[in-house]
Structure 1
Amino acid sequence: MSALHDILKKHWNYAAFREPQEAIIQSVLDGHDTFGLMPTGGGKSLCYQVPAVLKEGLVLVISPLIALMKDQVNQLQMHDIKAMAITGGVGTDALSDLLDNAQFGGYKLLYISPERLQNDWIVERLKALPIHLIAIDEAHCVSQWGHDFRPAYLKIADLKTHFPKVPFLALTATATERVKADIITQLQLHEPKLFTKSFARDNLAYMVYPAPDKLYFTQNVLKKYPGPSIVYVSNRKACAETAGHLEAIGITATFYHGGLSMADKEKQMGLWMEEKKQVMVATNAFGMGIDKSNVRTVFHFNLPPNLENYYQEAGRAGRNGEKAYAILLANASDRLQAENQFIAVLPDKAFLNVVYKKLCSDLQVAFGEGLDETFGFNLNRFCSKYQLPVLKTFNALQFLDRQGILTLSQEFSEKLTLQFIIESKEVMRYTSLNPQDEPIVVTLLRTHPGVYDLMTPINISVVARKSGGTETQVLAVLHKLQERGLIELHAKSNDAQLTFNEVRDDERTINRVSKYLASQNQLKAEQLQAVLAYTANTNECNSRYLLRYFGEEKAENCGICSVCLNAQKSKVELGDLPEALLKALKKSDLSSRELQEMLSQPDEVLIFALQSLLEAERIRLLPNNKYSLR
């Protein structure tokens, strides 16, 4: 067995690499710039984590996803691999200490957000590190044609000057041919070795159905095809409501979104991962770091903003190679809802200016100040105070995040302050009786020296990192200390955290980035049109349709998607059903559930018959999701 396979087995307990992981790893070990296009779930992270373990020195990983960086660092530490992440919320002094640790502490991987490369002094510090590989995750962010363009990524190419002999590894899960070529150009990859894993998923059936009653349709599918499932919905409110509706009709379900506390996220995730709950109802905040191979069905109750997102979310089904289903349910009102949710709420330059100034005013950031300052932030409270539309404001903040002006962490956060209300000797007595809590308590005292004298703000992530625990473990210890009367603990909840990555400069700041705003808005409109075209498609195999979108041609139809199955059904098989439907609708407008109960037909046969009548323009689907004669 090779050294690569030894490492794979020892640290990850995998017997073999997936294609094309080993070839990518060998390419970077041979010193080549390398481009890897691997669909979600393809194991991109191992392509730089294995070389990190194998070689002396450090792998620099550039990623815009703070939650993913934290998740990977936690996972690596559990595998006995030293790793750290530098994100927008780390102050200058703490950052300097982290870089010292990276240089002298035997670390293998250093994760950093692209915005940090804007700071010349950080780049100077990076030059002193023993870096042997630079990995660029989410590499499509470097392209203006990519679905998540971030100007900060354009600075990455400057590292070529400082590390001329260090190979670059560009990785992405979604890139058209145009984006792929742009990535290679913008990152200045030198004669890169190219590796592409096919986007084809032969075991995954892509189904699109015009289901007016989505819960009823889902209930029937889950009873017919039992197994762990995910239901994606468009907002947090719908998460709890949909999970409640599923529970009410006898299907066990839980929910997940970015507004949950870390403890609640772990609890809900555990219920689903351990299959105590069959269905996870979630927003698109659910997905990063999810490794569950036996997901049978992924539903989308609402249209996604683009096919890139849809492919990644749908692709969480069937990773074990067994037959699985990606079901997109689209009714008459979904098109208008999607346009209102994704297009009508896009900010223009004037609105962006308003949001930025009011944000600075609300957080009391003076002109010329704010660099590296972090604030708790509640979006609804902010919008209510200044009478701003919530979705449009959120999109403006997301744009400012992508441009690197600020970092918006959408994870639920608690601003904690505490004070010890007993003598220090009693604290030492507690740690001697509870040795499992000692590392956290001692770290807390060392990092927050004023905690005996006054209510002191606590940085949970710092305490967790320095004590070797997790944020959840730190919170558990704090609540235990509170229950036993050792501390006074106050928590103020926020639904996000904001970190300013540069000083406040009002119009000059907005003028610098607004040139990207119009092109990004246009791209989003085009992407939604691609989604609408996909849902309206009745002629081309859904699998081939998606592959063509990503620049991959497939000769054969998949034979298992909704389009292929409909093509296989002959009108003879439907028998008298179309006429029976027309007869029933002649009496009154009816929903699909009412028609199902009236005619007692299999779901797929009834849906095909309704689709046939819709295409023949003999019936129509009303806004109230009932069918009517034309």
Structure 2
Amino acid sequence: MDKFLNVLKEYWNYEAFRPLQSDIILSIAGGKDTLGLMPTGGGKSITFQVPTMAMDGTCLVITPLIALMRDQVDNLKARGIKAEMICTGMSRQEIITTLDNCAFGNVKFLYVSPERLSSELFLKRLSSINICLIAVDEAHCISQWGYDFRPSYLKIAEIRKHLPGVPVLALTATATPEVIRDIQSQLNFDEPNCFSQSFARQNLAYIVREADDKLSLLIKILTNVPGCAIVYVRDRKKTKEVAEFLIDNGFSANFFHAGLPQHVKNERQAAWKSNQCRVIVCTNAFGMGIDKPDVRLVIHLDLPDSPEAYFQEAGRAGRDGKKAYATIIYSKNDGAKLKRRISDSFPDKQRVLDTYNSLGNFYQLAVGSGFEAVFPFDLQEFCKAYKLPLNMSYNALKIMEQAGYITLSDALDNPSRLMITVNKDELYSLRHGNPEWDNIIQVTLRSYTGLFADHVYINEDLIAQRAESTRETVYNVFSQLSKTHIFSYIPAKKTPFITFTSSREDIKHVKLSKDVYETRKERFEKRIEAMQGYAEENSICRSQQLLAYFGQKQETACGVCDVCIAKKKNSLSTEEFDIIVSRIKTIISAKPVSSNELLRTMKTSEDKTTQALRFLLDKNIISIDQNQLIHISKNQTDD
């Protein structure tokens, strides 16, 4: 352990490991296949980065999150550690160069997206790299029973055949017991070996507040609870609307979603992390890989699709161990909205097939052609061309991905590229014709090499800073020079990619199996129901509800969620309250009864029973009909 602590101190400047990190590291060091189940913010990356730095060879890191991949590579390089990445969108030559660097350049970490694992080029060159460890991030993606199954993850087991004796470290923040078993099976573990810690967060209070006017309640919460906040909403348009509403009400706020230009995302993320902006209103595209310890509030204005997603997002609050709140603002029609996502996420099979057929036509692929073809993909352009609804078409393509016919990558931020297409003498004579051009060209030549030979990745912000100019000016100069064929300028573009993982099929022969469609739809429905149930359950401790979903038991209630606080107000202990409520429910489930009959039947004092009844009535768990009989509320029996 001493050598691992020395690595931790030298590269990360930490004196000790967090709980569970040392156990996982020692397991890996012993050559054992290991599953690490660590909550969001638990320091998962340290568990493979530290042991790799103490070993000979390269760690192969498999992750589906391209933005997170790039962040981790940049962070490692900033610490003086050699790291590379391979993902969809890179040219063949770029991939070859990266793999050669890993084989001969003492690279410690090679990050790859799972789609690259089966490519002939990757497999051919893998044997020349000394791989000492395989780290699988977001390991729940390998399980068909998980909430984010990705077929490309199944290729990891095949990679193990090429790397005999190399241990696997699988990491995830959220997994049910069923998924935990499946991860280890799918990755061909020699024997079950899972390290996990309780998901309980003593400093985090889970709250559900019901309100028809959500924005007014949002203002009230932000006013009463000081500190940095994240507000999650469902769609991109709403991020801007809510952020502007908060600004109009005197709050420092901004919005964030995946469709923003990368430099804008970087600026807003940096402003929020440095507390120049207090509230970031965002979709679920925000938060991955961001380790900001002092978030005091995570608020959901819309319900996520699953308890797994909610637990990850809520877990971004209070990582410093101080009191924090994870709050859902809920209204009764949210349940109906949540259930509508089922039909949106699972269009009927014929629509799925028609969308796949249109995709083949979009790229002018003949039936039987296109195997392993990769294309930039603009969903809006595709839908406009065939008059298709955006959301439903996207989900239809995701189903085809599950079926193994295509892969739809996350949008990849491709940096700007620049090449000078004239010789040095021609460029020299040009520079003296325009002082502004001259300044920017000189700065560019000083900042980058190889511009006369090939396209080079550039950063307009860096050039603008060094030239004491603006990004817009740099962009305009490069664009004008490109029009006159002096430069070849390819501006940065956020591009997802479609890969045809099998030749284009006639839709008559496309198979959407039960596992791909019906079973996944059924499991999606169950997660939706579990999320709605969490929001509407008002008698069980919030923390206990979440932990039970993940197969963990919390003996005592948290004492700080809205349910526990309401019970305290009734001056009953949590244990006593739960017993009384259980008895009341048992009695009135058999048949509605009057309050007098209920009090006679109960074996507790009238005062305590009355307190419990008031709570259940306030929370609309029970109701009293026109005949003054107490029964379970209709919305409870429907659920």
Q: Superposed, which structure 2 residues align to 1:70-85 within 5 Å? A: 70-85=70-85
Checking the alignment, whether the CA contact within 8 Å between 1:262 and 1:472 is kept in structure 2 is no
Residue 614 of structure 1: which of 608, 617, 620 is its match? 620
TM-score, structure 1 normalization: 0.82
Q: Which residue of 2 aligns with 1:193?
A: 193
* Cα separation, 2, equivalents of 1:616 and 1:386: 51
The code of the aligned residue for 2:533 comes to: A
Change (3 A) 1:77 1:427: farther
Equivalent residue letter for 1:312: Q
Match for 2:449 among 436, 442, 448?
Answer: 442
Q: 1:212-251 counterparts in 2 under 5 A?
A: 212-251=212-251
Counterpart for residue 310 of structure 1: 310
In 1, Cα distance between the equivalents of 2:497 and 2:173? Answer: 27
Alignment check: 8 A CA contact 1:209 1:328 kept: yes
| Alignment partner, residue 499 of structure 1 | 498
Relative to 1, partners in 2 of residues 1:371 and 1:51: Cα closer, same or farther, differing over 3 Å? farther
Alignment correspondent of 1:301: 301
**In 2 relative to 1, CA 416–49 (structure 1 residues): closer, same or farther, beyond 3 Å?**
closer
- 1:120-131 to structure 2, matched below 5 A, reads 120-131=120-131
What residue number does 2:103 align with? 103
What is the CA-CA distance between 1:377 and the residue it aligns to?
Answer: 3.3
Distance of 1:514 and 1:308 partners within structure 2: 23
- Give the Å deviation of 1:110: 0.9
Rounded to whole Å, the distance in 2 between the matches of 1:92 and 1:126 is: 15
TM-score, length basis structure 2: 0.81
Secondary structure of the equivalent of 1:31? Answer: coil
Q: Secondary structure of 2:135's match?
A: strand
Structure 2 letter corresponding to 1:538:
N
Preserved CA contact (<8 Å) 2:538 2:621: no
Contact 1:356 1:506 in 2 (8 A): no
Task: Give RMSD over aligned pairs.
Answer: 3.1
Counterpart-to-counterpart distance in 1, 2:44 and 2:459? 25
Write the deviation string for residues 580-613 of structure 1: whole angstroms up to 9, x where unpaired: xxxxxxxxxxxxxxxxxxxxxxxxxxxx989706
Is 1:154 equivalent to 2:154 in the alignment? Answer: yes
Taking the aligned partners of 1:512 and 1:127, their CA distance within structure 2 comes to 36
43-52 or 112-121: bigger deviation:
112-121
Distance 1:474 1:392 in 2: 41
Secondary structure in structure 1 of the residue aligned to 2:620: helix
Q: Partners in 2 of 1:348 and 1:475 — Cα distance?
A: 51
Task: State the distance in 1 between where 2:210 and 2:425 align.
Answer: 68
Alpha-carbon offset, residue 421 of structure 1: 7.8
Contact 2:9 2:15 in 1 (8 A): yes
Which structure has more relative contact order (CA 8 Å, sep 6+)? It is: 1
Residue in structure 2 matched with residue 602 of structure 1 by the alignment: none
- CA 1:472–1:546: 2 relative to 1, 3 Å: farther
Deviations 1:439-481 (A, max 9, x none): 7643444333xxxxxxxxxxxxxx44xxxx7696589889626
In the alignment, the residues of structure 1 paired with residue 247 and residue 140 of structure 2 have an alpha-carbon distance, to the nearest angstrom, of 39
Percent identity over paired residues: 39
- Runs of 4+ in structure 1 deviating by more than 6 angstroms, as ranges, are 414-419, 428-436, 469-472, 474-478, 489-495, 608-611
Distance 1:443 1:566, change over 3 A: farther
Instruction: Tell me the residue number matched to 1:586.
Output: none
SS at match of 2:111: strand
**Which residue is 1:483 aligned to?**
477
| Pairing 1:163-562 to 2, within 5 Å after superposition | 163-370=163-370, 373-401=373-401, 405-411=405-411, 424-425=424-425, 427=427, 437-438=444-445, 441-448=448-455, 463-464=456-457, 473=462, 480=474, 482-483=476-477, 486-488=481-483, 496-507=495-506, 510-511=510-511, 515-562=515-562
Q: How far apart are the structure 2 equivalents of 1:407 and 1:375? A: 11
Per the alignment, do residues 437 and 17 of structure 1 end up closer, same or farther by CA in structure 2, a change over 3 Å counting?
Answer: farther
Q: How many residues align?
A: 566
Q: AA paired with 1:113?
A: S
Q: Distance in 1 between matches of 2:178 and 2:328?
A: 27
Partner of 1:623: none
Are 2:561 and 1:567 equivalent residues in the alignment?
no
Which secondary structure state, in structure 1, belongs to the residue aligned with residue 453 of structure 2? helix
Asked if 2 retains the 8 angstrom alpha-carbon contact of 1:367 and 1:503, the reply is no
Segments of 5+ residues of structure 1 without an aligned counterpart are: 449-462, 573-607, 620-630
**Cα 1:131/1:309, change in 2 over 3 Å:** same
Secondary structure class of the residue paired with 2:295? coil
What secondary structure is seen at the aligned counterpart in 2 of 1:160? Answer: helix
1:321-377 deviation digits (Å, cap 9, x = unpaired): 000000011102211111223444413432222112212222334444445554443
Is the contact made by 1:203 and 1:318 (CA closer than 8 Å) also made in structure 2? yes
Aligned partner of 2:362: which letter?
D
Q: Which amino acid aligns with 1:90?
A: M
Given that residues 88 and 372 in structure 1 are in contact (C-alpha distance below 8 angstroms), is that contact kept between their aligned partners in structure 2? no
Amino acid at match of 2:504: D
Separation of aligned partners in 1, 2:463 and 2:59: 29
1:432/1:280 CA distance change after superposition, 3 Å: closer
Q: Structure 2: 5+ residue runs without aligned partners? A: 432-436, 466-470, 573-613, 626-639
Seen in structure 2, the aligned counterparts of structure 1 residues 512 and 340 have a Cα distance that, compared at 3 Å, is closer
**Matched-pair contact (CA < 8 Å) for 1:346–1:396:** yes
Change in CA separation of 1:369 and 1:614 when aligned onto 2, cut-off 3 Å: same
Secondary structure of residue in 2 paired with 1:442? coil
Offset at 1:495? 6.3
* Number of the residue aligned with 1:90: 90
Distance in 1, Cα, partners of 2:179 & 2:493: 36
Letter in 2 for 1:545: Q
Residues 25, 345 of structure 1: CA spacing in aligned structure 2 closer, same or farther, 3 A cutoff?
closer
Query: 1:95 offset after TM fit, Å?
Result: 2.0
Q: SS of the counterpart of 1:212?
A: coil
For the structure 1 residues 412 and 237, does the alpha-carbon distance in structure 2 shift closer, same or farther, using more than 3 Å as the test?
farther
Code of the aligned partner of 1:447: D
Deviates more, 1:297-306 or 1:610-619: 610-619
Tell me, in whole angstroms, the C-alpha distance in 2 between the residues paired with 1:369 and 1:284: 36
Aligned in 2, Cα 1:569/1:163: closer, same or farther, shift over 3 Å?
same
Q: Would the alpha carbon gap of residues 571 and 320 (structure 1) be closer, same or farther in structure 2, given more than 3 Å must change?
A: closer
Q: Cα 1:350–1:230, aligned 2, differ >3 Å: closer, same or farther?
A: same
Q: What does the per-residue CA deviation read over 1:118-172, in whole Å, with 9 as the maximum and x for residues that have no partner?
A: 2344223212210011111111122111111222222222233332211111111
- Which position in structure 1 is the counterpart of 2:611? none
